[in-house]
Structures are given as C-alpha cells and as structure tokens.
Amino acid sequence: MKKTITRRNFLKKSSKFVAAAGLGGCGILLKGCALKKDFDLIIRGGFILDGSGGEAFEADIGISGDYIKEIGQILSVRGKSVIEAKDFVVCPGFIDAHDHTDVGLLVNPKAESSIRQGITTLVSGNCGSSPFPVAEEIYEESKENLKELFQLDLTWRDIKGFFSRLEEKGIALNYSTLVGQGAIRGAAMGFNDRPPSQEELEKMKKMVAENIEHGAVGLSTGLEYAPGSYAKADEIIELCRVAAQYGGVYATHMRDEGDKLIESLDESIEVARKTGVSLQISHYKIAYPRNWHKIDAALAKIEEAKNNGISIFCDRYPYIAGSTGLSFYFPLWAKQGTTDEFLAK
C-alpha cells in the first residue's frame, strides 16, 4: 500500500535524515521487487521524495558504487551496509545555490555545516568574490592572512591551482563555482576606482573565458563591494557577453538592495537583455522597512523580463537579516588600494 506524508511531517522528518542520491543521468525508475542482487548499500523503508514533484512513497533503495540501481521492494538481499530508514525521508541532496565556503573547504573538507543539513552541492564564488584569480598587489597580504587565520598555505593563483588543492585535500560534497568579477578586476587593474583601459578590459574578458574553460560555471558580481563596485554597467556587459558565449550564468549581488533597488534591478535586467546571459539575482531582498513597499514593482519587473524572454532567477534566504564585513559601511573612495592604504585613510 502506498503511503503518503504531509508537508509538515516531511519537514520534520527530513531534518532528521537525508540520504544524498546523485540523480544526474541515472534515470531513476521504480523497479518493483529486486531479487538476488548484491548492493553496496540498501536503504530500507524510507519515505522517498525522488525530485519528480510527486508525493512521497515508501520503498527500499539499492545502491551500487555511485549509482542507484533499484527503487522498490528489495527482497532476500544483503547489502554490504544497510540503513533502516523507516519513518525518515530519503531524498536527493540539496543544492546551496549561494554559498561562500570556498577556502573554508580547505579548512574543513568534511563540510559538516552543509552535510548535516542535507546539502551535497555548493555553488560558491558569489558576490564578485572568488579565491581566484589572486591579484598581485594583495597576494602577500592574502598569504599572510590565510596562514594567520586558518594555518593554510596560499599555493594557488588561478582556478586550476585552487581546484588542484581541493582535489588533493578531498572534500565531502560536490563543488561548483563562479568566478568573481571583483577578483578579476583586482587582478587586471588593482583596487582602483576608474574605467579600465582597452587593454585591461580585454585582459578581464580573457580571464572570464579562461576561468569558464577551466571549470567555472559563470560570472558573479558584488556591486556593493570594492573593487567590483567601481565597474560601470558597460564594463559588466562586456564581461557577461563572454560568459554568455560559454553558456555561463551571471549571478549578481546588485548595486543596491534598498533605496535604489528598482534602479539596480533595471541595471541587472539590462545586462541580461543586451548579452543573452542567464541572470541570477543573489539573495533577493528589499533592505530596510522603508523600502518594503517596492516589492510589487520589483516582482512585476522580474515577471516582465521573463515574459520578454530573459532567463532570470533569484535565490533568497528565509529571514530578515544580512551578513557582511565591516568595510561594507565605509565609502567606496576609502577602499581604493591595499588594506594598509585603506587603514591610513
């Protein structure tokens, strides 16, 4: 008999038990009864949510190697390992679409803070900040900071070096990353509030291409953070054209999420319209109660963009708070140059 579960009970039970099942390309099918087969792992009697949007159903799961081989009633089989999942929910691992772990995976490769929530895939490199490329003028400072804060050696300068370091360390989940426009701008022209020269712009475009070719899934901006905030819309458009050519996404921490939210949303949509890049609005919110009335106008703009053929998505968190660094509250002119120069001002 098929057993269903209410949304409330699902949320309660799924917080206790999540089995990460990599579904990509497996073609999961309900097989009925499986007989006389060996599995590396059997998960027995769980409420299964398979990602199809259907109701939960009770069944066993047989796993061999990295693949789910059977979903159904598995009889007369002994797995090398067995998890009794009665009264628990079994579902694919969750994807954290906006993550800032990055170097943290070298500090704690087990990533318990994610794994214990059922998160098995991270998308990092957000808000214009990725651990590559490393700007020459802050390389020594970054090296000292990593050593002092995390007892880590900075052994990379680009995405290939960072990926190699992750592979050497070994991590407990899937890692996907954007390349940060702030990191690229810093590497190409330092922390300077001015338009790029044509040579510097071409250098940045080349870095976008190279990073995507070597594994980045797109470009991110943090337009409230230096040095990315020094870029005007036309500069971002040029970089996003490159990302779009590779099928990459553009994830943006917009230039303003409060008083100038609507103008910032217009800028983001215009970048997507002119380049064809898929737009992801990061941690979509409206800051400060005085701006909350703008929600209807903002959502209407997003719907209009979708109706006009623009690929646009948002991610958000379920609370009315934010998290950022103290330097965020200083004016942009003060943040030009190195940390020592910033402190001297």
DSSP secondary structure, 88-146, as one string: SEE-PPEEESS---TTHHHH-TT-HHHHTTTEEEEEE--TT--S-SPPHHHHHHHHHHH
pLDDT of residue 37: 67
Q: Which CATH number fits the domain that encloses residue 25?
A: 2.30.40.10
- Shared domain for 292 and 150, answered yes or no, is yes
pLDDT of residue 8: 43
pLDDT of residue 181: 98
Helices and strands, counts by H and E, the chain: 11, 14
Question: Does residue 178 lie in a domain region?
Answer: yes
Q: Select from 12, 2, 173 the least CA-distant residue to 89.
A: 12
pLDDT of residue 51: 86
Question: Which domain-ending residue is among 92, 116, 151?
Answer: 92
- Tabulate helix, strand, coil % of the chain (nearest 5): 40, 20, 45
Residue 118 CA to residue 16 CA, distance in Å, equals 9
Q: Which domain holds residue 196?
A: 95-344
Question: Does residue 282 lie in a domain region?
Answer: yes
Q: Which amino acid is at 267?
A: E
Residue 215 CA to residue 154 CA, distance in Å, equals 20
SS3 64: strand
Question: Does residue 78 lie in a domain region?
Answer: yes
- Shared domain for 188 and 313, answered yes or no, is yes
Q: For the whole model, what pTM was predicted?
A: 0.81
- Reading the block at residue 333, the tokens are 């002119």
pLDDT of residue 233: 98
Residue 214 CA to residue 79 CA, distance in Å, equals 39
Neighbours of 323 (CB within 10 A): 7
CB-based burial, 243-255: b 16+ in 10 Å, e otherwise: bbebebbbbbbbb
- Shared domain for 191 and 169, answered yes or no, is yes
Q: How many CA atoms lie within 13 A of 161 on its CB side?
A: 11
If the chain, 345 residues long, is cut into consecutive pieces of 10 residues, what is the mean pLDDT of each piece?
43 40 38 62 93 92 91 80 93 94 94 94 97 89 90 93 95 97 95 95 98 98 95 98 98 96 98 98 94 96 97 91 79 75 75
Question: Which domain-ending residue is among 92, 115, 142?
Answer: 92
Question: Which domain-ending residue is among 48, 69, 92?
Answer: 92
